[in-house]
Structure 1
């Protein structure tokens, strides 16, 4: 299994983190769950039922209620027991349809173990369904753009993020960074959407990496969709969800989720009408790329525990590289050759041109230049303000931090000198 950083998903509670991670791993490893077996719906309902319990420490801490009020340890445990009983009832309703399904039987066994572990009575109250978000009960509640326009009298403000190449990230706030990350990292993690990208070394003995896997989870939104999974890997960009469907969430004559392709095996575009979001997954050369356009309200729908999102905050400071100073060129390609090749494809000397030179220099693969070309084309399609498409390269954050550290040192020395004279 590929190394993964610690991803705090949904909550910081150790108990909940373990459960949610287990459910996620089951779903990712078993994409063949049939449409008639709705165990993913049971999983999603359990996660939703425990979201408002906040962080809990079974050694003595409490949690936070829906309004932020503190809950006692007993109240938190009672809430989990109610959620577990609801989870068990849901699995019982799925018993016939899910007979022989490994994900189903894993869930049933996990519920049984947890009921015993937390001394939950078999009989008792069950978790109440989470209230539907306000403003989503009109006839257009699964058409985000139309509903927003009816409510606000204007179109939503859209934000754009992309990740491609070695990898380079353009965040929702128009920061552009080159990262030295390997393994699986979350790009987006909010109340509606979870996106994870996996980066792997391209060649032994080099620091060059490429995106090799992209996982997208559309979280359960009961009135519009059941939880849905999409996965793409290098040399396999399917134009379908993991269950084989090309659409999902049929409501009032339309589908909330649809997938289509203009290049089978190399490109997929997913439209999520219920959250007004468009995602484009494509393979360019020997790496994957992802571009996202999503409304600001959707992008910002996350809590403090969802604190690792590359599309929101960029890559960690310790993992940022200076794109203006790429690694030593591959022996098969000179630095001058890389600049000439990228200049022919990307005349504007913007961040996409610099990313092209970086990837081409570090990999020596001419096909790697297409990642920047495709990312720029997606940016043109997704960013309405033409002036914001071409970003100018800036000095790396590492250099900025070095200058900041020097300034702080000088300030500290000055203060010590003043104190010494007092």
Structure 2
């Protein structure tokens, strides 16, 4: 293959990164370069090169409609025709199967956290869990359990990859208890994998799409590594971020939102000292913590015995979620709040 043509192709590859969007000429160029790396020597070389050129030509034809008016595309077509003439290649004849696109295959590997972690460490990653629900109750990554009176906007997560902010408002007059009324989740831009994506939910408004209307990671090759799905219309949305080994669930129960996340341990700990205020990491600050005795300040007038019976129906084991259920029912006076702890469990 002429050295001059290789230099021309490298120029086209670089230039095309800036001008190609729907036009897939970059894919054709990349496949061509891969195919020409292992051409046989001797008399079989010309026949093999002609097969590669016919495959290259077929690839450009498949993207012709999207590349209409694209200078790089038309230059590539001209170069292919010239090479076929100079090498006495016929337009009809056998072609090679498209070679794997190195850029795409490498990107898919990078954007699958579980696989890339296993390849590097020889074992699957470990995961951590955080849940924020009810008044709200916070179950941290270290499995500590807190009941908080946090009011206003508070960060649940703030690491190198994801930022999550919850807005809490007073739930019942006369009580210190609050509940989540709004959630904002920001997936930060990450190299080849995803564009920055923002998800927002509020009471009675759990969209099954990001703020920009998309349901995946955008225009980058690894966009499918970030997907949003509606599990129950208006009540339960799940976001899978495979590129960081993370799954997030947003639910509405009664008049409150809840948040749950399963996240790769390495990702959960990827933050600086300035990002230390995260309810999922350290729980709510000591000044914002409530004890169960403080729930009696409400005007709900539900006794402990009544709350225990109600919570026992959906939570037979008397663990932290069971105690959270009792707190929620007593502070709110609403029987359906027993479902929040059940859902998170």
TM-score by length of 2: 0.67
**What's the counterpart of residue 273 of structure 2?**
304
Does residue 256 (structure 1) correspond to residue 225 (structure 2)? The answer is yes
SS in 1 for 2:217: strand
Bigger radius of gyration: 2
Unaligned regions of 5+ residues in structure 1, if any? 1-35, 37-135, 377-422
Does residue 156 (structure 1) correspond to residue 125 (structure 2)? The answer is yes
Q: How far is the alpha carbon of 1:253 from its aligned partner? A: 7.4
8 Å CA contact 2:238–2:250 kept in 1: the answer is: yes
8 Å CA contact 1:142–1:251 kept in 2: the answer is: no
SS in 2 for 1:373: helix
8 Å CA contact 2:111–2:222 kept in 1: the answer is: no
**What's the counterpart of residue 198 of structure 2?**
229
* Residue correspondence of structure 1 range 111-260 to structure 2 within 5 A: 139-249=108-218, 255-260=224-229
**What's the counterpart of residue 348 of structure 1?**
317
8 Å CA contact 1:259–1:271 kept in 2: the answer is: yes
Unaligned regions of 5+ residues in structure 2, if any? 1-20, 22-104
**What's the counterpart of residue 127 of structure 1?**
none
After superposition, the C-alpha distances for 1:341-383 in whole angstroms (9 at most, x for unaligned) are: 011111101010100000000010111111101110xxxxxxx
Report the RMSD for the aligned CA atoms in angstroms. Answer: 2.0
Q: How far is the alpha carbon of 1:238 from its aligned partner? A: 1.1
2:262 to 293, 296, 300: 293
Q: How far is the alpha carbon of 1:252 from its aligned partner? A: 5.2
2:308 to 331, 339, 348: 339
SS in 2 for 1:289: strand
SS in 1 for 2:273: coil
**What's the counterpart of residue 246 of structure 2?**
277
SS in 2 for 1:274: helix
Q: CA 1:180/1:283 → structure 2, altered by over 3 Å: closer, same or farther? A: same
Q: How far is the alpha carbon of 1:333 from its aligned partner? A: 2.7
Tell me the distance in 2 between the aligned counterparts of 1:358 and 1:268. Answer: 26
After superposition, the C-alpha distances for 1:52-110 in whole angstroms (9 at most, x for unaligned) are: xxxxxxxxxxxxxxxxxxxxxxxxxxxxxxxxxxxxxxxxxxxxxxxxxxxxxxxxxxx
8 Å CA contact 2:175–2:295 kept in 1: the answer is: no
Tell me the distance in 1 between the aligned counterparts of 2:185 and 2:297. Answer: 34
Tell me the distance in 2 between the aligned counterparts of 1:188 and 1:194. Answer: 5
**What's the counterpart of residue 381 of structure 1?**
none
Tell me the distance in 2 between the aligned counterparts of 1:256 and 1:139. Answer: 8
